[in-house]
Chains A and B, each alone.
Chain A
Amino acid sequence: TQLLEQSPQFLSIQEGENLTVYCNSSSVFSSLQWYRQEPGEGPVLLVTVVTGGEVKKLKRLTFQFGDARKDSSLHITAAQPGDTGLYLCAGAQGGSEKLVFGKGMKLTVNP
């Protein structure tokens, strides 16, 4: 059973399009993080959200943490080829020092 479900799992779009990635769970998380991973590299932290309802913006990326702290979304505006990669959400649960990861969403942005 996957604790964090990401959708879609794959997305191929044209440069300039918008997209949203979802990360859902039936469990509550004390914080949720988004990472981007490129081939042959480790994941790189994009953002951490800790408060239910929190919205964070990072240039063209907008991250939202659900009010109940069970889900999150990542919205990319005007996608660029440099956005191509595997987007992973990861959750931390109170009392545990390990992150639980979703399987990721593989994004390809075509020029």
Chain B
Amino acid sequence: GAGVSQSPSNKVTEKGKDVELRCDPISGHTALYWYRQRLGQGLEFLIYFQGNSAPDKSGLPSDRFSAERTGESVSTLTIQRTQQEDSAVYLCASSLVGTAYGYTFGSGTRLTVV
């Protein structure tokens, strides 16, 4: 596609429910990143994929968070047993040549846990 596509754009869920967030990167971009942006905070790294492997998942906050990627395409971030502190904008980015030359971000998924 022309850009990075994320869905849904907004998600309201009840505390304790599981949610799945989807990211469709730019075609041909081998690197894919998930970040979290909480109100008033900078972007917080969650996980990095190169192809369908995740060499760096050091930013996942707890074992309630997991992510997978199919080949060099779609990625899904899953949050189990959501908590109110999980409320944030979840941003996905992809890159063709790696970190040094910048990311293309999607518009994000705004997750609200009530």
Query: Which residues of the partner chain A approach B107 to less than 8 Å between Cβ atoms?
Result: 40-42
Report the nearest A residue to B9, measured CB to CB: A40
Please tell me if A66 contacts chain B, counting CB pairs below 8 Å: no
Q: Which residues of A contact B1 (CB under 8 A)?
A: none
Contact residues in A for B61 (Cβ distance below 8 Å): none
For A31, A33, A44, A99, which residue has the most chain B Cβ atoms within 10 angstroms?
Answer: A99
Residue of B nearest to A2 (CB): B42
Interface with B: A11-19, A55-63, A90-98, which one? A90-98
Q: How many residues of chain B are within 8 Å of chain A by beta carbon? A: 28
User: Given the complex of chains A and B, what is the CA–CA distance between A77 and B40 in angstroms?
Assistant: 26
B25 CB–A CB distance under 8 Å: no
Which one of B14-22, B68-76, B79-87, B98-106 contacts A? B98-106
Query: What mask results when residues 73 to 111 of chain A are scored 1 for a CB within 8 Å of chain B, else 0?
Result: 000000000000000101010001111111110000000
A contacts with B, residue count (CB < 8 A) = 26
Is A45 in the interface zone, CB < 8 Å from B?
A: yes
Q: How far is the CB of B45 from chain A (nearest CB, A)?
A: 5
For B42, what are the chain A residues with a Cβ–Cβ distance below 8 Å? 2, 4, 88, 101-104
Residues from chain A with a CB closer than 8 A to the CB of B35 are: 101
Residues of A within 8 A of B (CB): 2, 4, 30-31, 33, 35, 40-45, 48, 50, 88, 90, 92, 96-104
